[in-house]
Amino acid sequence: LSRRLFIGSAAGAAMAVLTPAFSAEPIKLRISTPAVEADWHAKMLPVFKQELEKSAPGQFDVEIHLNGTLFKQGTEPAAMQRGNLEMAMISAFDISKQVPEWSIFTSGYLLRSPEHQVKVFESDVGKEMYGLVEDKMAIKVLSVGYLGTRQLNLRTEKEVKTPADLGGVKLRMPGSDTWLFLGKALGANPLPVAFGEIYTALQTGAIDGQDNPLPTVRAAKFYEVSKQIVLTDHLVDAIFLSMSGSAWKKLDDKQKTAVMDAAKAAVRYNNENRIKEEAELADFFKAQGLKVYKPDVEAFRTLVQKTYLESELSKAWPKGMVDRVNAIK
């Protein structure tokens, strides 16, 4: 109604441009993710929506698309860059395709814990690295969420103590070079498979195993088609709640603050719940009949760190960045 009142009035038209908060049409924010409904990074999206509705009533229309139904896993950054999607939760692996400096965060055994992850991204390191994403990708990172610590989950029974025990093991990884590199660094034979196809691939034996944090192994029910979980702790993984630069630029300052605060609230909800559940899940999987055990983590850490430091990937890491990340306590 308010919009119709502006029609034909020059002053009204100017006002409509200057004060987007009064626009009758809420700003559409479509979020696309491969996450399944029961996982914490999916459950945090309604929190984002509710928080935004509280602080900016009627100004946003948040649409949540799960299970990779709107955009396929890994295609979200390009969709945001083309203006076809407003928001997504992207990984360091997605980012490093366009910003090679970011492959530092795809490296196994660098970040030490969820607390370390938060501190790193709240520090100058985070500011600098987010700046690269804005400059090179025109994507605004709103906040970092803890996806969990990645572990191995196998349908085979052979015990895994060291990287050598993964020789010839067909380990599903998401479909990009940096992900496959991680699988290889662990000693396995990595195969690219989309997240939505893991369950069937485990069930049919197309793959021997996959890696994901324990809350995801529960939420996506991978444990139903697995015999063992090997607690390698190989990657303290992150998901970056992000907005396309073009959508971000259209917001006024108040709306930007509302979006940032809602993102922080959502991520806080994710982190608290995920960390709590992650600590309890080994018992749950054991009760489901799986073997759950720690391998020789030092053997994995030593090999993986060496492999990354000697790789082509590490040549793109900003100078001194590993030391700066390590120095954050």
Binding residues for ligand KDO, rule: CB under 6 A, are: 33-35, 39, 41, 73, 91, 174, 195, 212, 216
Residue 221 CB, shortest distance to ligand KDO, in Å, is 12
35 or 201: CB nearest ligand KDO: 35
First to last CA, the chain: 55
Angle at 115 between CA 53 and CA 215, to 5 degrees: 70
118 or 251: CB nearest ligand KDO: 118
- Per DSSP, helices labelled H in the chain are 2-6, 10-18, 40-55, 76-81, 92-98, 114-122, 124-137, 177-185, 198-204, 214-219, 245-249, 253-287, 297-309, 321-327
45 or 52: CB nearest ligand KDO: 45
Contact 242, 144 (CB under 8 A): no
* Nearest one of 198, 244, 213, 172 to 67, comparing CA atoms: 198
**What sign does the dihedral 43-47-52-53 (CA atoms) show?**
positive
16 or 42: CB nearest ligand KDO: 42
Residue 249 CB, shortest distance to ligand KDO, in Å, is 26
33 or 226: CB nearest ligand KDO: 33
Residue 58 CB, shortest distance to ligand KDO, in Å, is 30
* Nearest one of 325, 229, 242, 237 to 275, comparing CA atoms: 237
The 3-state DSSP class for residue 145 equals strand
CA 98 to chain centroid: 16
Residue 315 CB, shortest distance to ligand KDO, in Å, is 23
Residue 284 CB, shortest distance to ligand KDO, in Å, is 18
Minimal CB distance residue for ligand KDO: 91
Residue 194 CB, shortest distance to ligand KDO, in Å, is 7
Amino acid, single-letter form, for residue 51:
E
Residue 41 CB, shortest distance to ligand KDO, in Å, is 6
251 or 267: CB nearest ligand KDO: 267
Residue 123 CB, shortest distance to ligand KDO, in Å, is 22
32 or 255: CB nearest ligand KDO: 32
- Residue 229 has, within 13 A of its CA and on its CB side, a CA count of 27
153 or 244: CB nearest ligand KDO: 153
Contact 256, 27 (CB under 8 A): no
